[in-house]
Amino acid sequence: MAMSTGDSSGGPMSEINVTPLVDVMLVLLIIFMITAPLMSHRITVELPTANPKVTDTEPVEPMDLAIKPDGTMYLNDVEVTEAELKAQFAVAAAKSPQPELQIRADKTTEYKIVRKVLGSAKEQGMVHVGFITTGKE
């Protein structure tokens, strides 16, 4: 006669024993808690101090270029030719800090004239270029 264990079905035991799983997880948790602070590297860097009361230099006066519809150009209210304008761009591009070129073109001026001026400014090394418009009142 066989001894019965109280299980009348006689099939395999289907319950999972979670105690070893919890033990392993707790050990891993402790290991990660100990090693996580060791993995952060501290690098010391000398940071610059900011002093807002000191100004580096006085602001640079921008270059004002007016372009009329017929193609005549005025740099700071003085009429210039295209060759003179390129020379002025080269001189301004060499300055440090570089002045800003502010273009005021008439609204009826053809874009190819403005594009030509922008191309020559870029060729000479001008970086800061802006367009001046009037706002609606």
> pLDDT higher for 44 or 103?
103
With cut-offs at 50, 70 and 90, classify the pLDDT of residue 57.
Answer: low
Q: What is the pTM of this model?
A: 0.56
What is the edge-to-edge ordering of all strands in the sheet holding 101-105? 78-80, 73-75, 63-67, 101-105, 129-131
Q: Are 72 and 78 in contact (CB under 8 A)?
A: no
What pLDDT, in 10s, does the model give residues 120-129? 999 999 999 9
The secondary structure of residue 6, as a DSSP letter, is: S
State residue 9's pLDDT score.
62
**Per-residue pLDDT band at 6 (split at 50, 70, 90):** low
In tens, the pLDDT along 81-122 reads 999 999 999 999 998 888 999 999 998 999 999 999 999 999
d(CA 60, CA 101): 11
pLDDT for the residue 90 = 93
